[in-house]
Chain A
Amino acid sequence: MGVPFRQYVTRQSTQTNPLHWAGQPAVVAINLVVMIVFAIAAIFVATQRARADNRAPVALADLRSAKPGEMRSGALLLKDGERFVEAPQLGTDIDLTVSGPTARARISQIFRNITNSWVEAVYVYPLPDGAAIDTLKMVVGDRIIVGDIKERQAAKVAYEEAKARGQKAALMEQERPNIFTNSVANIGPGETVVVQIEYQEPVHQADNEFSLRVPLVVAPRYNPAPVVQTVDFKPDGRGWGTVSDPVPDRERIEPPVLDPRVDAPVNPVAIKINLQAGFPLGEVKSQHHAVKVEEPAQDTRVITLDEKVVPADRDFELTWKPTASTAPSVGLFREHVADSDYLLAFVTPPALVDAERRARPREVVFVIDNSGSMGGTSIEQAKASLLYGLDHLKPADRFNVIRFDNTMDMLFSDTVPADSEHLGQAKRFVSALQANGGTEMVPPMKAALTDRRDADSDYLRQIIFLTDGEIGNEQELFDTIAAMRGRSRLYMVGIGSAPNTFLMTRASEIGRGTFTHIGSVAQVEERMRSLFDKLENPIVTNLTASYSADADVTPAVLPDLYRGEPVVLAAKLGSPDGTLEVKGRIGDRPWNVKLPVASAAVGHGLSKLWARRKITDAEIAKTLGQATQEETDKRVLSLALDHHLVSRLTSLVAIDATPSRPAGAHLSRAELPLNLPAGWDFDKVFGERAPAQAPRHNDRADVNGHVQLAANTKQIAAPAPKISGASVNTYQSGGVPLPKTATDAELRITLGLVLLSLSLILLVVRRLRPQLAK
């Protein structure tokens, strides 16, 4: 535009103009240029203002939102549209009480808004996959607001409405059975809001060892792009269909992740466990964290972290054993809730040595995940585990090895005899593996489940699947296992500091195998040995449970048991004084045990555990094609609402009746960043570049100091919270903030008129131009 216009100016100025209606033509032209520049600038300013209008009605709020250069203390900046927002600081306080077979956890998430603007905090975090989450509380000042269970959509709507009204609100949604999102709306400048979650969980028991896992971080997942597309054709037969994404909710489970080389760890966690085992305790051990153990009584321990707080970058795992002489083989617990009795039973079958059984040969397919998420120490653990497996094959066995990332290789086209030549080849193949690429888990699972020798029932067909399970398309994998499992049994080996336990347990349940977790290289030998002991044979098969009166027993289908594992079942009983009978076969011999329920000890939260397990049953029935989606949804919804549980279809929502954010103040959304799980290699997961986040300050020394875990916990524990009525809150200083009360109508009208007259002037000039040219 500039070039022709300049020529125009030059040409005009070389001529005399008889009709100089506004002084010299050159002056007119220059004026025009200046005015157009002004007009364009004015348009720009106006649109900018219009945008600011929508986003930040309070003009001063703009000035106060953080700019990367003016950060005071170490904190992460997140991008909110075009502005940077400091992420709220988060501290987590975990208080766990183990009473006999169950654990009750209270997790307090302390959100501290260190900015000068109003913030909505969004935090994605893990919980154990068998946990029954029944309580959400929000602590604002000295008030405690207890959350309600609602259908997911209704809860979301209630939360969004409260958020828009400026009320404080907390919403807890399930993304996966082990991943949850907390959203906390309207945290004021400098304010601290505590969100407290409580859940009930059964204690895991195997090999005479009891254990509890507290996952602390959601590992980044590989979410396959919909390359292998599923096409849903509409039933109208017109041939138009839609492509479905294998991970339809990918953005919900992809929070920002910090590069540990750049940022100090965030999200400090304090853990306290009150262990009341119910029997004299032997060894009590934390697998991955240094702890202090107090011993107030023979059957009680109080466990706290050695360092007061740790970053949330690996799972916490606690194991305990009874003293050698007191190992219980049966546990029976009962709880009376509303009109029903609930039962939780553990029965460890006797370990019979079955001398006359000949060992059946096995056909073992090892599958190893060498995707990028396995980078760092995980791949070393996986390789060591696989090499252990290869070393313990017997000459009569057959085997194969499959490796996968987003591509896959099968070492042999079919399983081969475990002779020294094949084993040598396999070991060289495994040793050379490097972690890289994405995680496409379905194709290798299909390859491993493909059974070429199904007529030859003499072989035990076993798949040992070594992975961290960090994928987002879990359901696709479960569907594959359900459809193709045949006679194969699937043994999931979870690798790394924070594996996806939901995937592992559900996959091994559908695949009728077990889940073994290996959290560090030091555990490889011990855990793999115990797995290989199990692999020899399931010892108890054809398990059924029956009750002398009416009862609803779960799991619906009791799994086969391996050495050292107990039968674990929960039941809702019609009458509390019947007898529970568990039957099965140990080797060739029948085994049964009768348990009089009247003698059961009192347990806590058993109804919740029963309901939670019934939800799992319903989901598994759906995966196995035994129920339709509608039936499953109905079942899950009624269980969750009856028992006040968070599920796929229900969320907990807590809303403060008193609005706190003044209207007009802008609310920023901040997704809280997560640590990369310990031992992970950032570049392998995200490629060799920083994630799309704002620049940040490196000094983060005071993060831990700012979050006062102890003080806040005390506040929560305070009994009988004062609920202040609908009284009007007074502002501490400054008085009621006033909304912006000027429109830019006049500005727009003025500018509009200026531009219109400009265009008119230009048109007139153009009309006159031919005459000027003469």
Chain B
Amino acid sequence: MSAFPLPREPTSRRSPCIHPAATAIVSLLLAASGLVLLGQGLWIHAKALLAQVLLERAFTATLASGQIVKPWPWADTWPIARLEVPRLGKSAIVLQGSSGQALAFGPGHVERTPDVGERGTAVYSAHRDTHFAFVGDIKIGDEIRMTRSDRATFRYRVIGTSVVRWDQSGIDAGAEGRQLILSTCWPLDAKFSGPLRYLVRAEIANGPNG
């Protein structure tokens, strides 16, 4: 404020109106940023849910036609398989690629790992708070069912879980046998992302369509 005292209007027993105005602006700003953040957070979940609906539709079309069907015209990824955990009643459509964009819509097939059902270790990744929120509930012995776009179905049996660093996963994509790994961020309920990943390891229980 100025060093020279300003003459006050004698009627103004209520203090200068700067205080209520400032309070109003601050509260409006807070409300606005609160709403934006809330909206962003909800949007992430909404996008994840909505995308799965569209992906389910696209994947059904893929199964019928045998062609790659993009879930929406501008999508840079497409559905490649359906992942189901019958005991938990959960399922998700798995996407080609595990870029940040793909993972917003569904679990992604990690690049340079084989397709599910093929020799080696197929790795799928998804967000711990959306599509893979159920991964924490998976128990050893659970069945994971995978349906590929060529209609081949594979059943896997969960054999173990572990926590690893993202860059020290120890996963050998070309390992003997046929394995499946689901990966998500660890700890499962943390607010911030860290270097650790929670892995669910499964082993093939049968051949195609068995």
| A interface residues (Cβ-Cβ under 8 A, vs B) | 1, 3-5, 7-8, 11, 36, 39, 43, 46, 49-50, 53-54, 57-60, 164-166, 658-660, 662-664, 727-731, 734-760, 762-763, 765-766, 769-770, 773
Query: When the two chains form their complex, are residues B193 and A738 in contact, meaning their CB atoms are under 8 A apart?
Result: no
Query: When the two chains form their complex, are residues A737 and B169 in contact, meaning their CB atoms are under 8 A apart?
Result: yes
Query: When the two chains form their complex, are residues B170 and A57 in contact, meaning their CB atoms are under 8 A apart?
Result: no
Q: Which B22-42 residues have C-beta < 8 A from chain A?
A: 22-24, 26-31, 33-42
| Cβ of B8 under 8 Å from chain A | no
Chain B residue at minimum C-beta to C-beta distance from A1:
B22
Q: Which of A11, A53, A731, A735 contacts B15 (CB 8 A)?
A: A11
A residues less than 8 Å from B97 (CB atoms):
165, 663
* Interface flags, B138-157, vs A, CB<8A=1, else 0: 00000000000000000000
Measured CA separation A738–B108 after assembly (Å): 11
Chain A residue at minimum C-beta to C-beta distance from B131:
A741
* Minimal beta-carbon separation of B68 from chain A (angstroms): 15
Interface centre among A659, A736, A769 (most CB of B within 10 A): A736
Query: When the two chains form their complex, are residues A766 and B100 in contact, meaning their CB atoms are under 8 A apart?
Result: no
Query: When the two chains form their complex, are residues A729 and B38 in contact, meaning their CB atoms are under 8 A apart?
Result: no
B residues less than 8 Å from A746 (CB atoms):
41, 129, 191
Measured CA separation A64–B171 after assembly (Å): 22
Query: When the two chains form their complex, are residues B173 and A730 in contact, meaning their CB atoms are under 8 A apart?
Result: yes
Measured CA separation A754–B41 after assembly (Å): 13
Query: When the two chains form their complex, are residues A756 and B26 in contact, meaning their CB atoms are under 8 A apart?
Result: no
Query: When the two chains form their complex, are residues A738 and B172 in contact, meaning their CB atoms are under 8 A apart?
Result: no
Chain A residue at minimum C-beta to C-beta distance from B76:
A164
Interface centre among B99, B108, B173 (most CB of A within 10 A): B99
Q: Knowing A36-B30, A752-B39, say if A742 contacts B113 (CB, 8 Å).
A: no
The interface-forming segment of B57-65, B86-94, B119-127 is B119-127
Tally B residues with Cβ within 8 Å of A: 71
Measured CA separation A39–B33 after assembly (Å): 10
B residues less than 8 Å from A731 (CB atoms):
172-173
| Cβ of B52 under 8 Å from chain A | no
Measured CA separation A46–B34 after assembly (Å): 12
| Cβ of B114 under 8 Å from chain A | yes
A residues less than 8 Å from B170 (CB atoms):
734-735
Q: Which of A36, A57, A747, A759 contacts B31 (CB 8 A)?
A: A759
Q: Which B135-187 residues have C-beta < 8 A from chain A?
A: 164, 166-174, 183-185
Query: When the two chains form their complex, are residues A752 and B38 in contact, meaning their CB atoms are under 8 A apart?
Result: yes
Chain B residue at minimum C-beta to C-beta distance from A46:
B37
Query: When the two chains form their complex, are residues B37 and A728 in contact, meaning their CB atoms are under 8 A apart?
Result: no
Chain A residue at minimum C-beta to C-beta distance from B24:
A766
Q: Which of A3, A58, A729, A759 contacts B34 (CB 8 A)?
A: A759
Measured CA separation A113–B123 after assembly (Å): 28
A residues less than 8 Å from B28 (CB atoms):
759
* Minimal beta-carbon separation of A433 from chain B (angstroms): 58
Q: Which 10 A-B pairs have the closest CB atoms?
A: A752-B38, A755-B34, A748-B41, A749-B41, A752-B37, A762-B27, A756-B34, A759-B31, A759-B30, A742-B185
* Minimal beta-carbon separation of A12 from chain B (angstroms): 10
Query: When the two chains form their complex, are residues A735 and B169 in contact, meaning their CB atoms are under 8 A apart?
Result: yes
Q: Knowing A8-B19, A748-B37, A750-B191, say if A60 contacts B42 (CB, 8 Å).
A: no
* Minimal beta-carbon separation of B178 from chain A (angstroms): 13
| 20 A–B pairs (Cβ distance < 8 Å), ordered by A | A659-B111, A663-B98, A663-B102, A730-B173, A734-B168, A735-B172, A738-B110, A740-B100, A741-B184, A741-B185, A742-B127, A743-B127, A744-B44, A745-B40, A745-B42, A748-B38, A753-B34, A759-B34, A760-B27, A770-B14
Query: When the two chains form their complex, are residues B100 and A54 in contact, meaning their CB atoms are under 8 A apart?
Result: yes
Query: When the two chains form their complex, are residues A734 and B41 in contact, meaning their CB atoms are under 8 A apart?
Result: no
Measured CA separation A745–B37 after assembly (Å): 9
B residues less than 8 Å from A58 (CB atoms):
166
B residues less than 8 Å from A743 (CB atoms):
44, 104, 127, 129-130
* Minimal beta-carbon separation of A659 from chain B (angstroms): 5
* Minimal beta-carbon separation of A663 from chain B (angstroms): 4
| B interface residues (Cβ-Cβ under 8 A, vs A) | 1, 14-15, 18-20, 22-24, 26-31, 33-42, 44-45, 76, 97-100, 102-104, 108, 110-114, 120-121, 123, 125-130, 132, 164, 166-174, 183-185, 190-195, 197
A residues less than 8 Å from B114 (CB atoms):
728
Measured CA separation A5–B27 after assembly (Å): 13
B residues less than 8 Å from A729 (CB atoms):
112, 173-174
Query: When the two chains form their complex, are residues B34 and A754 in contact, meaning their CB atoms are under 8 A apart?
Result: yes
B residues less than 8 Å from A60 (CB atoms):
166-167, 195
Query: When the two chains form their complex, are residues B167 and A737 in contact, meaning their CB atoms are under 8 A apart?
Result: yes
Known: A166-B111, A765-B23. 4 other contacts (CB 8 A): A728-B173, A736-B123, A748-B37, A759-B27
Q: Which of A7, A659, A753, A756 contacts B112 (CB 8 A)?
A: A659
* Minimal beta-carbon separation of B28 from chain A (angstroms): 7
Q: Knowing A754-B34, A758-B30, A763-B27, say if A747 contacts B20 (CB, 8 Å).
A: no
Measured CA separation A762–B33 after assembly (Å): 14
Q: Which of A166, A663, A745 contacts B44 (CB 8 A)?
A: A745
A residues less than 8 Å from B110 (CB atoms):
662-663, 736, 738-739
Query: When the two chains form their complex, are residues A748 and B40 in contact, meaning their CB atoms are under 8 A apart?
Result: yes
Measured CA separation A662–B109 after assembly (Å): 11
Q: Knowing A738-B197, A739-B103, say if A762 contacts B14 (CB, 8 Å).
A: no
Measured CA separation A756–B36 after assembly (Å): 10
Chain B residue at minimum C-beta to C-beta distance from A5:
B22
A residues less than 8 Å from B171 (CB atoms):
735-736, 738
Q: Which of B125, B173, B191 contacts A739 (CB 8 A)?
A: B125
Interface centre among A728, A739, A744, A750 (most CB of B within 10 A): A739
* Minimal beta-carbon separation of A102 from chain B (angstroms): 44
Q: Knowing A739-B110, A755-B34, say if A734 contacts B169 (CB, 8 Å).
A: yes
B residues less than 8 Å from A750 (CB atoms):
41, 191
Measured CA separation A766–B110 after assembly (Å): 53
Query: When the two chains form their complex, are residues A1 and B129 in contact, meaning their CB atoms are under 8 A apart?
Result: no
Query: When the two chains form their complex, are residues A752 and B34 in contact, meaning their CB atoms are under 8 A apart?
Result: yes
Measured CA separation A736–B179 after assembly (Å): 14
Measured CA separation A743–B185 after assembly (Å): 9
A residues less than 8 Å from B34 (CB atoms):
751-759
A residues less than 8 Å from B98 (CB atoms):
663-664, 739
Interface centre among B20, B24, B30 (most CB of A within 10 A): B30
Q: Knowing A736-B112, A765-B23, A766-B27, say if A4 contacts B45 (CB, 8 Å).
A: no
Query: When the two chains form their complex, are residues B172 and A662 in contact, meaning their CB atoms are under 8 A apart?
Result: no
Q: Knowing A740-B185, A765-B23, A766-B24, say if A749 contacts B38 (CB, 8 Å).
A: yes
* Minimal beta-carbon separation of A769 from chain B (angstroms): 7
Query: When the two chains form their complex, are residues A738 and B112 in contact, meaning their CB atoms are under 8 A apart?
Result: no
Query: When the two chains form their complex, are residues B128 and A662 in contact, meaning their CB atoms are under 8 A apart?
Result: no
Chain B residue at minimum C-beta to C-beta distance from A32:
B26
B residues less than 8 Å from A755 (CB atoms):
30-31, 33-34, 37
Query: When the two chains form their complex, are residues B30 and A39 in contact, meaning their CB atoms are under 8 A apart?
Result: yes
Query: When the two chains form their complex, are residues A742 and B129 in contact, meaning their CB atoms are under 8 A apart?
Result: yes
Query: When the two chains form their complex, are residues A738 and B169 in contact, meaning their CB atoms are under 8 A apart?
Result: yes
* Minimal beta-carbon separation of B104 from chain A (angstroms): 8
Interface centre among B14, B111, B174 (most CB of A within 10 A): B111
Query: When the two chains form their complex, are residues B26 and A1 in contact, meaning their CB atoms are under 8 A apart?
Result: yes
Chain B residue at minimum C-beta to C-beta distance from A756:
B34
Query: When the two chains form their complex, are residues A736 and B40 in contact, meaning their CB atoms are under 8 A apart?
Result: no
Measured CA separation A728–B171 after assembly (Å): 13
* Minimal beta-carbon separation of B114 from chain A (angstroms): 5
Query: When the two chains form their complex, are residues B40 and A762 in contact, meaning their CB atoms are under 8 A apart?
Result: no
* Minimal beta-carbon separation of A188 from chain B (angstroms): 12
* Minimal beta-carbon separation of A586 from chain B (angstroms): 67
Query: When the two chains form their complex, are residues B173 and A57 in contact, meaning their CB atoms are under 8 A apart?
Result: no
Query: When the two chains form their complex, are residues A3 and B1 in contact, meaning their CB atoms are under 8 A apart?
Result: yes
B residues less than 8 Å from A8 (CB atoms):
19, 23
Q: Knowing A54-B100, A739-B110, A741-B132, say if A747 contacts B23 (CB, 8 Å).
A: no
Interface centre among A754, A757, A765, A766 (most CB of B within 10 A): A766
Measured CA separation A762–B34 after assembly (Å): 13
